[in-house]
Amino acid sequence: MVERLIVIVLFEGVDLLDVTGPPEVFSLARRETEEAAGYDVVLAAEDTAAVTTAAGVRVLPDVTFDELSGRQIDTLVVPGAVEVDGERRVHPRTDPAVVRRVKELAARTRRVTSVCVGAHVLAAAGLLDGKRATTHWSTAQQLAADHPAVEVDADPIFVRAGDVWTGAGISACLDLSLALVADDLGEDVALRVARQLVMYLKRPGGQSQFSVPLEQVSTTRRVEDLRHHILRHLREPLTVADLAAHAHVSDRQLTRIFKSELGTTPHAYIESVRVERARHLLESSDDTLERVASTCGFGTVDTLVRAFRRRLETTPAEYRRRFRRAPHTG
């Protein structure tokens, strides 16, 4: 049996689910394989005093960082913590002492992972330089601004860059942990664990961590009107010229508005809305791919497929197979 030491970093204010989610997955993997997984999960902190999480629940560490000295770590899990200011803006916490400990532990770890805004700790430790990474969508822009050497992708649920894995929102810690189990023990074991967790399925990393309606809301009525106009006329070509005429601005000005307000181009935003609509139809209807493509304004199935590969790293047919909701039988 391969022994795999999983170390989860603890510190004050850490998000509780970031800490408790991964151990549940690894524990079930052991049960599903009759302990053949060999996972040994420990919670590590600066000392053995109880750590108060963001939820107010206190957690006791199993070991101190110093007690791990000399031990070879299989997987290091770095959870996240945030502070919220008076205007309800979220700021990730990166305590220098925690960053230093993570950097030390990572040096003797086979695989380093972060959950949610824990990616900011990895970045501060220099572990994401030159790598593609994700984090919670609300702090992705800050991660990119603070660490230009990191290729930040705010969309996926998790990202693997060699031996460094980063996860998105808090609940995505389960998806990330399942992906680690699949990497160690195979897809079949990971799917059995997902069923035990009563998760609908094991989501692929390429799945978007949020849908179009949850994207940043614009601060101007003009852009909000454009967004609603796009949703109402999704079947139509929706060229830059069409949208500019609707908004009574020039083509160039429209492009500048989208870039400043939504951080993207009109073409990219329209495609994201179309993919989102197509996802919903693939999950909830029996429409043919031809009908889905037409309804969402892609025109052809080939265009639909290319958009799905670009945005979700999968095909519409594969997406439907994975995410089709069973009809309600009442």
Taking the C-alpha atoms of residue 140 and residue 209, their distance in angstroms, rounded to an integer, is: 12
Nearest to 11 by CA among 50, 57, 69, 68: 50
**104 vs 98, 202, 325, CA distance in Å?**
10, 32, 45
Amino acid at position 225, single letter = D
**CA–CA gap between residue 239 and residue 270 (Å, rounded):** 9
Task: List residues bridging with 160 in a β-sheet.
Answer: 165
> Residue 312: phi, psi to the nearest 5?
-120, 0
**Residues contacting 241, CB < 8 A, separation 6+:** 251
Which residues have a Cβ under 8 Å from the Cβ of 184 and sit 6 or more positions away? 4, 29, 37
Q: Cα separation of 322 and 319, whole Å?
A: 5
- Sign for the CA dihedral angle at 55, 120, 200, 3 comes to negative
- Select from 65, 59, 58, 61 the least CA-distant residue to 48: 61
205 and 161 in contact (C-beta within 8 Å)? Answer: no
Catalytic residues: 116
The label of the residue with tokens 């079930």 reads 28
CA distance 217 to 219: 7
CA of 320: how far to CAs of 107, 175, 290, 327, in Å? 41, 19, 14, 13
